[in-house]
A = this chain, B = another copy of it.
């Protein structure tokens, strides 16, 4: 019983450590995370943190996993509000993609942690990190697959062809018996990711605002163009 209480306190401290790390990261960039800095902020001595994370790298891994999950959650939430508002499929896409950008702009440190330059000394635990990253793509893939099935897409030939190498990877990921629709949806997800990620990265580092002014409108317009190019009936 009392043991439970101790475990709970333990978990709370772990959360607090991560929260403090994120705050430091937001202020000083992703390599602003340091055992000593967090301890200072929390009014503890540095060695105390080793009761919660065996090393700085493990803490960073935990932050990366959290960030991937938060991003996926944000995208799902973005789409859900469009669904609840009774918006058509096309607007659901827009909402989900806008959520991707919004997350990046609202939590730049977390976004950079997962999609920015790798942290200097950090040696990624890919076996933990990669699965966490997959969720984001899955949200879009499912959404696109549903839209294809619903006849909301009229995909041009240039986007239908999946190269053999890619097809193999997709089949390995989705399973051999994956439907053509699902495979195509994943392919379109990858394309969309590539096409839209750049706007976000450029804006995040301040390269876009000086040349286009209203980045909200710019992104919205190009997002619409992009989905229209993919054959979505908007």
Q: Interface on chain A toward B: helix, strand, loop, or mixed SS? A: helix
The verdict on A179 contacting chain B, using a C-beta distance below 8 Å, is no
Write the residues of chain A forming the contact surface with B, with a CB cutoff of 8 angstroms. 28-32, 112, 115-118, 120, 130, 133, 137, 158-159, 163, 165-166, 168-169, 173, 190-191, 193-202, 205, 207-208, 210-214, 217-218, 221-222, 224-226, 228-229
Bound Cα distance A163, B166 (Å): 38
- A194-B222, A198-B197, A198-B200 known; A116 vs B117 contact (CB < 8 Å): yes
Q: Would you list the 5 A-B pairs with minimal beta carbon distance, nearest first?
A: A198-B198, A197-B198, A165-B213, A194-B199, A165-B214
CB pairs A–B below 8 angstroms (15 shown): A28-B120, A115-B207, A116-B116, A133-B207, A137-B211, A165-B212, A166-B212, A166-B213, A191-B222, A194-B202, A194-B222, A195-B199, A197-B199, A197-B202, A198-B200
| A169 with B210: CB separation less than 8 A | yes
Residues of B within 8 A of A30 (CB): 117
| B213 with A169: CB separation less than 8 A | yes
